[in-house]
Structure 1
Amino acid sequence: EFCERFSYYGMRAVLTLYFLTYLGWDHDLSTAVYHAFSSLCYFTPVLGAIIADTWLGKFKTIIYLSVVYVLGHVIKSVGAIPTVGSNTVHIALSMVGLILIAFGTGGIKPCVAAFGGDQFQEKHNYFFNNNSGIVKSNSFKLPRGDVQCFGGDCYALAFGVPAALMMVALVVFILGSSLYRRNPPQGNILLEVCNCIGFAIKNRWRRSKYESKRRHWLDWAEDKYSKRLITEIKMVLRVLLLYIPLPMFWALFDQQGSRWTLQATRMNMSFGAFSIKPDQMQTLNALLILVFVPVFDLFIYPLVSLCRINITPLRKMATGMIFAALAFGAATLVEVHVVKTVVKPAPAGQCLLQVFNLAPGDVRLHFPESQPFPEPLMYLQDPGEYLKLPLGAPSTNVSLEVDYEGTASRCNVTFGQQEAYSLILHPSRAGIRCRLVSEHLASVASRRFVNTLSEAVTVTVGDETFHADANYSVSANKTLQRGVYNKVSCSLQSKTCPDLDLGLLDFGASYTVVLLESGRITTHKMEDVHANNVHVAWQIPQYVLITAGEVMFSITGLEFSYSQAPANMKSVLQAGWLLTVAFGNVIVLIIAEGAGLEQWKEFVLFAVLLLAVCGVFSVMAHFYTYVDAQHLDKMDANDHSGGQRSSKGEQSWGSLNPRRLVPP
């Protein structure tokens, strides 16, 4: 279970960044696909439980679906190898891999814990906690940016490590097969409940016209099903009704792996002696869970009770919703400051432009219909912020007038809508020449070189090599890890030049380094895009708040649900609980693709929606009547003493002690 959880969360932690940086998707599409995958992972457990309880049994279901799981990881890893086909092939392999992983992890989810429960006798209590695997998978630096392969971040290996661990999990599970207690498939209570509800609805529709009304619509199933089963279903439906508002909480909670990770990519992640990666901030949630659970149980809840405040389970859940909304309020404040340091993409009908003057003197630049540069551009002047240049068509040819030392010349350039450009002005025998360079605005540090020398140059920075031809040619713009680069090797066609000192390459900054020669080769570094000046530590409050909300909402909610239904109906509640997670991810998918809001406004929208849903849930909780635990104990005792049973045995969900369960 440790290896399987490591495999799943290790892969999912880098998934959004893979979509963004490797497949080249935008933030909204990356978020939508991430949550579509997460949603599928929580829809498939119902299918896995049905397969296990009606056909294969838990042991074989775990084996077969784990093979599907491993196959999905392998395909996902192969899809991240740049040499395997085009980008379309990468996308196809990635989607197939994710679908197989979703069926694998979701299919075994209801079986693994229940199969573990089968190994214990009923008199044994045990504690099952998988958070250690989650912590390990997020805190361990998966080989992506630290290890380079195929000329870039090694996502193939980042997905390959979870694949290998899932193989280990499968092999270990198979090796112990001779030691396991295996219960044969004995029918699925989910299907029985659905059949009973379906029969009641159909029977009421057909017979209500000529028969007297019954006290409850489920009573119409008495012609075929036992009163005990009908009573138990009524109890379960009362709890499931309370589940209706719950997906909104999960819509906020699961954005830790999407929107919050994307927010971290635009922040400074340096802690002095070390740096972290954006996806590793998710480790905080798992670490804080391990701390908060005992703190809440041993200190906070007893302290609140001493104040004579009745803290019922449903009140805890409502409070957890409020904390999650506050977490998104904190995320909004962080986002407002983050966007000030990020270059926004050009809107429709415009492009972004910055200008570098490499001519030794002031240059005036005139556009035909506007004057975006009213002041002269000085020699080696930092370009400042990108300017938005309005265009009249998707592709616009512009004739620029350049004044230099009293001489006017013209440059013809072509701009495209919603693109970013750098215009490099440099001297020539005929006056001033223009070189237009298309930009890719990355959210991580990048660097490029402009070679003013008379021969080609090659510069090696870390693991990256930059090549620029002679006479004001521009090298490719490549991303680099944050760090101080004070010994950079440089070579010309005719000789090797002394090491260059390029200084600090900071998070989020983009630099243009001009190579100059005045007796010896020197550099002039210009900052195209300013470094991220909002530290990632400002995300800690929102993680603290969301984790506190999770402790009060998730753990309390599942324990409450199990305490309000007979033991043989706990599988139905587990299925309903997982479906709330699935629908929560569907909500994010819809809003991410359909709302089209700025990120901080989207955070506010989620917070407001959750507060509204919390109000609805609080009203529903006020009218809810708790089931007496002694009543349930008597029902369970009758079950074990030979009374009429509504199910045919232990199902894939339901063999766990509800008071010992930490939900996945």
Structure 2
Amino acid sequence: MVKNKIVSSPADGEVQKDFSQPKKGTPKLCGSNYPLSILFVVVNEFCERFSFYGMKAILTLYFTNFLHWDDNLSTAIYHAFSGLAYFTPVMGALVADSWLGKFKTIIVLSIVYVIGHIVKSAGAIPTVGDQKMHVGLPMFGLFLIAFGTGGIKPCVAAFGGDQFEEEHAFERRRFFSFFYLSINAGSLLSTIITPLLRADVQCFGGDCYALAFGVPAALMVIALIVFILGSGLYKKLPPQGNILVAVCKCIGFSIVNRWKHRRKMYPKREHWLDWATEKYPKQLIKEIKMVTRVLFLYLPLPMFWALFDQQGSRWTLQATRMNANFGGLILQPDQMQTINALLIVIFIPMFDMGIYPLLRKCNIDLAPLKRMTIGMILAAVAFIAAAAVEVKVQSTVKPEPAAAESYIQFLNLADKNISITLQGQNGFPVTMAPNQDPDDYIKLKLNSPNQPFSFALKYGNVETKCQQNLSEMEAYSIALYKEGTTLHCKLLQDEKSKPQKGTAIVRFINAYTDDINITLGEEDFGRVNKSLGSSQYAIMNRGHYKATCKVGTTNYIFDVGLIDFGAAYTIILDKKPGNANLTFWKTEDIRANIMHIAWQIPQYVLMSAGEVMFSITGVEFSYSQAPLNMKAVLQSGWLLTVAFGNVLVLIVAKAAYLEQWAEFVLFACLLFAVSIIFSIMAYFYKYVNSEELERPEEDNEEEIPTPNKSILLNTVSKQTKM
């Protein structure tokens, strides 16, 4: 019997080595069946994931707050970066399997990764270059990071799996759980620390994004060093040859060959790939059949990742419109992602050592694909919960003035009550006491884009009128003040949009008799002119503030109280009758965020449980169902599902034009439908055991023609070449 298994010969003078088995005496962890080398792999993964998720946690707010992009553009770039980071694993697998091997590929692309972090951090320094450079450097840095992290993704997990002998499959399965635990431990710490570095450390006059990006860069350097230190302990399988090209050529030949003979009377073949047997060995075809069967199962999976990755974009933006005060502990919006990492650290041992064994004792053995289906359903339910939260958040936010609408409120700076009347409009008459904070804006209906209004004012026994032109889709304050015995009014244009990033905005109005220089906390408002001069709005973080007001050579210090999440404030500086000293009063023009951020916790719990059942199981399943020389390729195929998931977010978000809660419901419904399709596909899938992966298929006795051997020597895996 002649077997068509092509094995390259060593060069003259070269000693042929077999790397398929571990070296004798390979050090073990504490006398167990776990190789000591996996410790370096796990620590490397911890540092690398700290680096990646730390940078990614603050990325959306970096786009919105530092680069001043809107929410939609920030979301689009965030998911474009995430998509690229998961498209590049194909490149990493190709380089690892056909050229450098997993070990060298991880080192080379980690260096690219580090350079990307450094460039990204440099771009976040405001004093470096101009505005174009502030955009160009981060985008180039993100490009390098995407190639670095994506390139090593399919290699690290598979490289860790390579350290185990086949008879230690149970330990290898446990390794994947520990490996995923290290991912989430790194994610947990990074999503706590990097938002604190961003918000609590001030540099260059604002949030310190340069430092927040610099620390992940340092962790990536540590990851690289740790991985190199373990070099002498690793079992390094040689490059498997350009297997991806071989697979593509084999599939292409099968399709073309079948098409050529579609009208000829050839015996029917059991599988469409069997049409490649004239040119390629049965062992290769058998392995490709295994891979294509798994890849077919991957087709519905991107929808899960489309929902999962919105934790860092849509869910973070949702958190910015909520109250994040936990009894004095202020949680940053981008720190909510910490909940996911914390829950994963808790859920992994809970599922692995508690729930799954308990189910097995009850004769309920959840196969990997069943676990993944349940994980998808849990993620869909998480988005239903997110939609419910979004509906409630939106109900607490007053909508902005629409077309043919204008908002108006009155500020009484006089010393008596003032009654205001306007015929033909709802909300009138209204009476304002001195220094009264208006409860809410009054909505006026306009007949033209710019319309004059005449307000009748009654001040004691004195009646007068105030005439103002109001524009549609704007919000105004009308300050009512007295000069002598005459009542006057002045129109002030207000901010109509609620602050969206968990911050507040503040302005000052000077009703005093002199110009005033104003500082609130560390924010300098400059000189505000007398006679109802108004400052520009300034963005402030939540906190208790004191204002310093300088009139001539005299300083007045006021405790203005709490500046809360998502509110817009007007602080009016004035003096009481008979008192020459400066006084102030504060109005809340746009109400602070009411709904507490803790309401997001249920959606994070559901998503994290779904992730444990879906993602960990999927990584293990991909490894266990792949032939030895195609493990990295199948791992990269798994990661490609994440990339396409991010593409789906871009498509749905741009094409649907839905309110945010409706978009969440749409994603949930799509995932429910996909989970049903996936469960049907899983029902017909036949699992492959390790013996089938190792046992070569014997070909026919006829030897492959010489030209075809030449092709195979260049395409089929070369097991003995380092």
* Same-fold call, TM cutoff 0.5: yes
Matched, 1:617 2:681: no
Matched, 1:449 2:539: no
C-alpha separation in 1, matches of 2:306 and 2:654: 14
Q: In the TM superposition, what whole-angstrom CA distance separates every residue of 1:247-291 from its partner, at most 9, and x where no partner exists?
A: 111111111101111111111111113111011111111111111
- Asked if structure 1 preserves the Cα contact closer than 8 Å seen for 2:240 and 2:629, the reply is no
Aligned match of 1:281: 336
Match of 1:597 among 658, 662, 669: 658
Matched, 1:494 2:553: yes
Aligned match of 2:635: 574
Matched residue SS, 2:667: helix
Alpha-carbon distance, 1:593 to partner: 1.7
C-alpha separation in 2, matches of 1:329 and 1:31: 20
Matched residue SS, 2:490: strand
Aligned match of 1:41: 85
Aligned match of 1:540: 601
Q: In the TM superposition, what whole-angstrom CA distance separates every residue of 1:292-346 from its partner, at most 9, and x where no partner exists?
A: 1111122212322333334222221111111111111211221121112234444
Q: In the TM superposition, what whole-angstrom CA distance separates every residue of 1:102-149 from its partner, at most 9, and x where no partner exists?
A: 112112223344556677787886733332211111111442221233
Match of 1:241 among 296, 313, 321: 296
C-alpha separation in 2, matches of 1:247 and 1:154: 35
- Asked if structure 2 preserves the Cα contact closer than 8 Å seen for 1:72 and 1:101, the reply is yes
Q: Which stretch has the larger CA shift, 273-282 or 35-44?
A: 273-282
Aligned match of 1:188: 242
- Asked if structure 2 preserves the Cα contact closer than 8 Å seen for 1:450 and 1:475, the reply is yes
Q: Which stretch has the larger CA shift, 196-205 or 298-307?
A: 298-307
- Asked if structure 2 preserves the Cα contact closer than 8 Å seen for 1:190 and 1:572, the reply is yes
Which one has the largest radius of gyration? 2
Alpha-carbon distance, 1:48 to partner: 2.1
Normalised to the residue count of structure 2, the TM-score between the two structures is 0.80
Alpha-carbon distance, 1:157 to partner: 2.9
Match of 2:454 among 383, 386, 401: 401
Aligned match of 2:467: 410
- Asked if structure 1 preserves the Cα contact closer than 8 Å seen for 2:283 and 2:697, the reply is no
Amino acid at match of 1:8: F
Aligned match of 2:574: 516
Matched, 1:435 2:491: yes
With over 3 angstroms needed to count, the CA separation of the structure-2 counterparts of 1:69 and 1:200, relative to structure 1, is same
With over 3 angstroms needed to count, the CA separation of the structure-2 counterparts of 1:252 and 1:356, relative to structure 1, is same
Matched residue SS, 1:105: helix
Matched, 1:134 2:187: yes
Matched, 1:480 2:540: yes
With over 3 angstroms needed to count, the CA separation of the structure-2 counterparts of 1:455 and 1:24, relative to structure 1, is same
Q: Which stretch has the larger CA shift, 508-517 or 126-135?
A: 126-135
Alpha-carbon distance, 1:163 to partner: 3.0
C-alpha separation in 2, matches of 1:61 and 1:392: 68
Q: Which stretch has the larger CA shift, 43-52 or 120-129?
A: 120-129
With over 3 angstroms needed to count, the CA separation of the structure-2 counterparts of 1:226 and 1:354, relative to structure 1, is farther
- Asked if structure 1 preserves the Cα contact closer than 8 Å seen for 2:110 and 2:149, the reply is yes
Alpha-carbon distance, 1:362 to partner: 5.2
With over 3 angstroms needed to count, the CA separation of the structure-2 counterparts of 1:367 and 1:167, relative to structure 1, is farther
With over 3 angstroms needed to count, the CA separation of the structure-2 counterparts of 1:409 and 1:310, relative to structure 1, is closer
C-alpha separation in 2, matches of 1:165 and 1:303: 38
C-alpha separation in 1, matches of 2:698 and 2:483: 95
Alpha-carbon distance, 1:50 to partner: 1.8
With over 3 angstroms needed to count, the CA separation of the structure-2 counterparts of 1:318 and 1:23, relative to structure 1, is same
Matched, 1:305 2:305: no
Matched residue SS, 1:552: helix
Structure 1: which 5+ runs fail to align?
639-643, 653-664
Q: Which stretch has the larger CA shift, 464-473 or 234-243?
A: 464-473
- Asked if structure 1 preserves the Cα contact closer than 8 Å seen for 2:373 and 2:678, the reply is yes
C-alpha separation in 2, matches of 1:59 and 1:564: 22
With over 3 angstroms needed to count, the CA separation of the structure-2 counterparts of 1:627 and 1:70, relative to structure 1, is closer
Match of 1:260 among 302, 306, 315: 315
With over 3 angstroms needed to count, the CA separation of the structure-2 counterparts of 1:184 and 1:142, relative to structure 1, is farther
With over 3 angstroms needed to count, the CA separation of the structure-2 counterparts of 1:27 and 1:172, relative to structure 1, is same
Matched residue SS, 1:210: coil
CA root-mean-square deviation = 3.3
C-alpha separation in 1, matches of 2:67 and 2:425: 37
- Asked if structure 2 preserves the Cα contact closer than 8 Å seen for 1:49 and 1:188, the reply is no
Identity %: 56
Match of 2:206 among 127, 132, 152: 152
With over 3 angstroms needed to count, the CA separation of the structure-2 counterparts of 1:635 and 1:365, relative to structure 1, is farther
Aligned match of 1:657: none
Alpha-carbon distance, 1:567 to partner: 2.8
Matched residue SS, 2:340: helix
Amino acid at match of 1:466: F
C-alpha separation in 2, matches of 1:144 and 1:416: 38
C-alpha separation in 2, matches of 1:539 and 1:199: 52
With over 3 angstroms needed to count, the CA separation of the structure-2 counterparts of 1:603 and 1:517, relative to structure 1, is same
Matched residue SS, 2:346: helix
- Asked if structure 1 preserves the Cα contact closer than 8 Å seen for 2:511 and 2:531, the reply is yes
Aligned match of 1:231: 286
C-alpha separation in 2, matches of 1:130 and 1:99: 22
